[in-house]
Amino acid sequence: MKYNQDYLKIKEELRRDNELFEDPAFSIYDEILSKNVSGQNIQWLRPHELCDRPLFIKDGLSRFDLDQGRLGNCWFIAAAATLACKRSLFTRCVPEDQNFHNDYWGIFRFKFWQYGNWVEIVIDDRLPTSGGRLIFCRNRDEPNELWSALFEKAYAKLYGGYGRLDGGRFCNALVDFTGGISESMYIGDKNKLPGDLFDILYKCHQMNSFMGCSIDGNYEREELINNGLYKGHAYSVTAIELINTYNYGRLKMIRVMNPWGKAEWKGSWSDGSPLWNEVPAEERRRLEVRNSEDGEFWMAYEDWIKNFERLEIVHLEPDAFSENMLSNSTKKNWRTLTYNGEWVKGKSAGGCGNSPYRELFEMNPQYPVRISQSHGCSMIVSLMQKIDDFHIENSVSFFVHKVRAGYEDQIGPDNKYDHGFLKRFCDSPTFINSREVSLRVQIDTPGTYVVIPSTFDPFKEGKFLLRMFAESEGDDYYGKGAGLKDENEEIHTPQNNWFRGFPAGNQIMSIS
């Protein structure tokens, strides 16, 4: 029901009957609210009942607009503020041709990405209030701007209620907003960090990837520490720069934003720090350095890596890039492969290969990919379970193997390699009951590699989306958008294509 409401048809019926929309699929009862406010004196009001002149968007977009309210969804607020930084991505989720005046019937629509498809969510504009004020997401400075409150309501409907948004992950929201692929890193163990981590982050920023970070803690109640940061709280990364200084050379710097719009870092390079006198005025203007209580602040990379423990990155698919995002020749984007698959008991649900079911591992699906780039590439593999609401049953992961030399063409009639032809290539992500697990794989030699998605236990059924993003230095081809193709269709790729997938069983493949 949440996907199957026809916005245009409903709007025509509202015109005919001269009525405002009341959504039968998301009724205004306490059970859709958060436990933090359930049972209180909540009034559901339409925008015209909240203010004299409601506006959908007032005076353009800003990442500083959003205020969290009484819902534990800082992860959603941080993701929505990040989305607002990219107008072309924002308008795909939030159609801007909506208002409270012309042809207004109390109905609004938003779009979210769900497992390879964009779905439209229709809502009415009745919003939960207390004392005449919105209790959840709102504009911090302009109470009559209401896109963010309606966007939050649509996202709550997508997942079955506001209460489902109490606690979540920054990267999950941005995947839903962009269709990107997420990558999570634990950076708390400073002895195991890749030596080129800043270079990875800088390159991700140049490729328009979105990033967020956090410090481990109680995610139901944030804890302030003496340096101004909060444990158990989601921050967004809004810039990564190399800055010029008078006496310190070029410094690695990261700009971070607290979605609360307050409570900032108090250490070196914080707002108002005398260290900024070491930076030429022109450089400060380029970096948009300002001394204001807006929740955004700069940190030296060394301080950032010392304090934060979790990093989440969402990489965009090629079809998400607008022309102006591609205009900078230093920015690269990804080649992508996409497969829809499933684990079926007795057929393809083999489990992880632990005793006593080791022989069942060969039942799992296989997804070969051929890398022909001589100087190697970085590839991110993502396995996403297709779930309803936030309910996750299976612990999942995947294995990456390389086909032994001389056996690349020995694929069987079932589109699978004999396991004797395969050699384990790298460590796998930990099996976890998460919606998405991902891994960055560095491939330095050409060859055929095989990704094998698996549940931890055998016989567990479920559907999944497997995606592979690969990029290479020196690759300047920009994909024109990924289109779904049946396995029997001819796949047209550019002549310089070095990243090829093979049809696997009855899977659907998308390549660009």
Q: Which residues of 212-247 are buried (b: 16+ CB within 10 A; e: fewer)?
A: bbbbeeebeebeeeeeebbbbbbbbbbbbbebebee
Compute the C-alpha angle 88/75/482, nearest 5°: 40
Torsion-angle region of 58 (φ positive above 0: left; ψ -120 to 50: alpha; else: beta): beta
The closest alpha carbon to 429, from 118, 132, 184, belongs to 184
Cite the DSSP H helix spans in 179-316: 197-206, 281-287, 301-307
**Rounded to an integer, what distance in angstroms lies between the CA atom of residue 465 and that of residue 396?**
12
Catalytic one of 73, 208, 258, 394: 258
Cite the DSSP H helix spans in 108-163: 147-158
**Rounded to an integer, what distance in angstroms lies between the CA atom of residue 229 and that of residue 224?**
6
**Residue 258 among the catalytic residues:** yes
Phi, psi dihedral angles at 12 (to 5 degrees): -65, -40
**Rounded to an integer, what distance in angstroms lies between the CA atom of residue 459 and that of residue 145?**
50
| Residue 318: both structure tokens together | 């090629």
**Residue 48 among the catalytic residues:** no
First to last CA, the chain: 33
Grouping H, G, I as helix, E, B as strand and the rest as coil, residue 302 is: helix
Please give the single-letter amino acid code of residue 209. S
Catalytic one of 93, 204, 208, 233: 233
**Rounded to an integer, what distance in angstroms lies between the CA atom of residue 237 and that of residue 210?**
7
Give residues with Cβ within 8 angstroms of 506, minimum separation 6: 487
**Rounded to an integer, what distance in angstroms lies between the CA atom of residue 92 and that of residue 120?**
11
**Residue 74 among the catalytic residues:** yes
**Rounded to an integer, what distance in angstroms lies between the CA atom of residue 336 and that of residue 204?**
16
**Rounded to an integer, what distance in angstroms lies between the CA atom of residue 452 and that of residue 426?**
12
Peptide bond into 356 cis (omega under 30): yes
**Rounded to an integer, what distance in angstroms lies between the CA atom of residue 310 and that of residue 162?**
25
The closest alpha carbon to 175, from 95, 96, 89, 88, belongs to 89
Neighbours of 287 (CB within 10 A): 16
Which residues are catalytic, by number?
A: 74, 233, 258
